Amino acid sequence: MGFEDEFIKVESYTVAEMDTWVRLSDFFTSGIFKTIPSRKAMKNAIKKGLVKVNGDIGYTGDHIKGGDIIEIFKSKTHKIKPSIPINIDVIYEDDYLAIVNKPCGIVVSGNKRWTLENSLSTNLKKSRTEDALQRPEPVHRLDYPTSGALLVGKTAQAVMSLNKLFEERKIKKTYTAITIGLLKDSGSIITTIENKTAKTEFKILRKIASPKYEFLNLTELKPFTGRRHQLRIHMSELGNPIFGDLKYGKEGLMLKGKGLFLHASSLSFIHPFTNDKIVIEAPLPKKFTKLFPEKEDRN
């Protein structure tokens, strides 16, 4: 069976003149391809052999220059991805995007069945727009043990627009963590993570003394960059690792069985379609409020 028997061409684009070449995997600009809403989607399409350059199967390292013809294909046999019955708290939703409160202990996306992405179609309303996605797509990730606000695109254009906002650092994220040890009230840390600059600001919201941990600090964290495990690494480098962190915690002071006390507590950005300012907060999990009750008992 030949390529044409298995796949059908859905888009074609002729590259304009460029001063220099770029890799095929990096050739993505919002709006070029209607069926490719993000760089991640482009790389996945290349990996699956669904991208051709000048009639030949494209590879990530191919050099793209002016005049090249890039074609996008899709399989003639539609593979149905699973939908799983996990109830997810939807904090905000409209026709373009949604913000959900991700539980800890579940991956956002991937090849496994039990992912948050596979639960979105059963938790969110179908968009009424022409470019509505059959399956809403998360536009960023939270680690498996991290809970909190996760931004989701419901249309192809929304995914592209939200990815652009992230690239331009126009989406502000705030996290809440419980850190251990004596920590100054506020400050910042700038280091190199995986050969890239990483910056985090921190501020103690409340603290309680602890015989074992010296102090438990309810800490606000604001990342200015998005390196992998950035917040966990930075707090560990300060000597105040996040409570329950089995990877970056201090030997002998690692809490087991309660998970990581790191929560994406808010997202702030300008809505790419309505121009409204969106500020959404995700309520703290119970394990946080057991240690730091939201309403103090004054009796």
Which residues are part of the catalytic machinery?
A: 143
Q: Rounded to the nearest 5 degrees, what angle is found at the Cα of 9, between the Cα atoms of 7 and 14? A: 140
> How many residues comprise the chain?
299
Using CA atoms, how far apart are residues 262 and 146, in angstroms rounded to an integer? 5
Q: Quick check: 260 and 244 in contact, CB under 8 A?
A: yes
Nearest C-alpha neighbor of 197 from the set 224, 229, 221: 224
- List the end-to-end C-alpha distance of the chain, in Å, as a whole number: 77
For the chain, how many helices (H) and strands (E)?
6, 16
Q: Which two tokens stand for residue 185?
A: 């009230």
Asked whether the beta carbons of 128 and 106 are under 8 A apart, the reply is no
Q: DSSP E strands: which ranges in the chain?
A: 7-14, 22-23, 51-53, 56-57, 63-64, 69-75, 89-93, 97-102, 132-138, 147-155, 172-180, 186-193, 196-210, 214-223, 262-270, 277-281
Residue 108 backbone dihedrals phi, psi, to 5 degrees:
-75, -50
